[in-house]
Amino acid sequence: MGERLSTNHSGDFMALLRARGLWREPEAVPAGQARAPVQEVHGTTVIALKYRDGVLNVGDRRATAANAIMYDRAEKILPLDDYTLIAIAGSYARAMEIVRYLQHSFKYYARTQLQEMSLEGKLAEVSRALAGNLSMALQGIGMFIPVVSAYDLDRGEGRIFFYDGMGARFESVEFGAAGSGSERIRGVFDYILKTKGPFHEMTLEEALRECLLLLDIAADLDSATAGIEKVLPIARAVTAEGILEITEEQLAEIKKSLKL
């Protein structure tokens, strides 16, 4: 028989880990003590757009370390549960560690409380994890910025949230983006809104087309962004029916229509 989950922590997965000695906050390096150089692998550009049926997330596949390309098949769009996606940019190792923690935290809450965690609870848990990572970020390692997309079943709409390094949360009306390439294309989002209308009125195909164009522009302006030429990006959407996987065939068809 497997070990029974304790319910003494009221669904608080982090408290459970601490009680069992499995979670410890990162420690700051003492003042004046040199830190050994760490060559971190970073994920670069991720984009989230609202569309007619929910929120579309697209990310290039490149992971870099300084000026070197380390990997061109990185997974940067990850499901936290059936109705929540997280797009990660920054320290890839630390981001993946926290993503795994969040996935288990949501499951632990559901199993101990016999109900799903509320959207507000999920967003607060992301803030909590980022705040716990602050000491590492201040040392120049482990810094990452997520974009969280969720389908709000109570409101019947997709929602996009972005964070700063201290865990402060903000909600976006139409789009969100993170990573080095996102800074280069920030104005392009507004241009699309003003010339083509709101993203939330677009079909999935129209939103995919805009995302691929945005990634292509980002790659032209940012050397750390892979774009769409060599390797197709990763794309997932969150809808009222749950997580929607966008196939490479769908992406290839959209790319072909762009005639880049």
Kindly calculate the radius of gyration of the chain based on its CA atoms and give it in whole angstroms: 19
Q: CA angle, 129 as apex, 126 and 130 as ends, to 5°?
A: 85
Residue 13 token pair: 């997965």
Strand residue runs (E) in 114-198: 144-152, 157-163, 169-172, 175-178
The catalytically annotated residue of 7, 44, 64, 225 is: 44
CB 151: neighbour CB atoms within 10 A? Answer: 24
Q: Say whether 225 is catalytic.
A: no
Q: Which stretches of 48-91 are DSSP H helices?
A: none
Question: In 3D, which of 66, 88, 67 has the Cα closest to residue 79?
Answer: 88
- The residues annotated as belonging to the active site are 44
